[in-house]
Structure 1
Amino acid sequence: MTTQIENIGFVGLGVMGEPMCANLIGKSGLPVHVYDQSAAPVERLAAKGGIAEPSLEALAQASDIVFLSLPSIAQVETVCATLMQASPAPRMIVDMSTSEVARSRALASKLAAAGIEFVDAPVARTAAAAASGTLFITVGGSADQFERLRPLLGCMGSDVLHCGGTGCGQIVKILNNIMVFMTVNALSEVLTIGRRAGMDGKELFEALSQGSADSFALRNHGMKSLVPDSFPEKVFPVDYAIKDASLALALAAEGGFEPHIAQYTHGLLCRTRDAGFSKNYHPAMIRLVDGRVAAQPA
Structure 2
Amino acid sequence: MSEVSLGFIGLGVMGEPMCRNLVLKSGRKVYGTDRRAEPGIRLQQDGLVACNSIAEVAAAADIVFLSLPSVREVIQVCTGSNGIVSANGRVKTIVDMSTSSVKETRDLAKTLDAANIKLIDAPVARMRQAAKDGTLSIMVGGTADDFAHVQPYLTCMGSDVTHCGGTGNGQVVKVLNNMVVFMTVHALAEALTIGRHAGVDGKLLFDVMSMGSADSFALRTPGKKSLAENVFPLNTFPTDYAIKDISLALELAAQGGVSADSAKLTAALLKQTSAAGYELNYYPAFINLIDPALNAKPDGAA
Q: Which amino acid aligns with 2:9?
A: V
Structure 2 distance, partners of 1:255, 1:63, is 37
Scaled by the length of structure 1, what TM-score is found?
Answer: 0.96
Question: Residue 219 of structure 1 aligns with which residue?
Answer: 220
Question: Residue 58 of structure 2 aligns with which residue?
Answer: 60
In structure 1, list runs of 5 or more residues that go unmatched: none
Question: Residue 6 of structure 1 aligns with which residue?
Answer: 4
Question: Residue 77 of structure 1 aligns with which residue?
Answer: 75
Structure 1 distance, partners of 2:240, 2:86, is 33
Question: Residue 30 of structure 1 aligns with which residue?
Answer: 28
Deviations 1:50-96 (A, max 9, x none): 00112111110100000000000000001001111223340100000
Structure 1 distance, partners of 2:70, 2:3, is 27
Q: Where in structure 1 do 4 or more consecutive aligned residues deviate above 3 Å? A: none
Quote how far apart the aligned CAs of 1:190 are: 0.6
Report the number of matched residues: 292
From 43, 46, 49, give the equivalent of 1:45.
Answer: 43
Matches within 5 A, 1:13-24: 13-24=11-22
User: Is 1:207 aligned with 2:208?
Assistant: yes
Quote how far apart the aligned CAs of 1:5 are: 5.4
Structure 1 distance, partners of 2:46, 2:161, is 25
Structure 2 distance, partners of 1:87, 1:146, is 24
Identical pairs, percent: 56
Give me the CA root mean square deviation.
1.2
Q: Secondary structure at the match of 1:155?
A: coil
Structure 2 distance, partners of 1:66, 1:116, is 11
In structure 2, list runs of 5 or more residues that go unmatched: 297-302
Deviations 1:79-123 (A, max 9, x none): 001111223340100000000000000000111111111100001
Structure 2 distance, partners of 1:178, 1:88, is 38
Structure 2 distance, partners of 1:33, 1:89, is 12
Structure 2 distance, partners of 1:189, 1:57, is 49
Deviations 1:257-297 (A, max 9, x none): 21111101000000011111111001001111112459xxx
Contact 1:5 1:65 in 2 (8 A): no
Question: Residue 300 of structure 2 aligns with which residue?
Answer: none
Question: Residue 254 of structure 1 aligns with which residue?
Answer: 255
Relative distance call for 1:5 and 1:216 in structure 2 (3 A) is farther
Q: Which amino acid aligns with 1:7?
A: S
Structure 1 distance, partners of 2:2, 2:13, is 30
User: Is 1:117 aligned with 2:102?
Assistant: no
Scaled by the length of structure 2, what TM-score is found?
Answer: 0.94
Structure 2 distance, partners of 1:189, 1:86, is 51
Question: Residue 134 of structure 2 aligns with which residue?
Answer: 133
Question: Residue 299 of structure 2 aligns with which residue?
Answer: none
Q: Secondary structure at the match of 1:164?
A: coil
Contact 1:83 1:89 in 2 (8 A): no
Structure 2 distance, partners of 1:75, 1:118, is 15
Structure 2 distance, partners of 1:75, 1:256, is 28
Quote how far apart the aligned CAs of 1:46 are: 1.3
Relative distance call for 1:249 and 1:4 in structure 2 (3 A) is farther
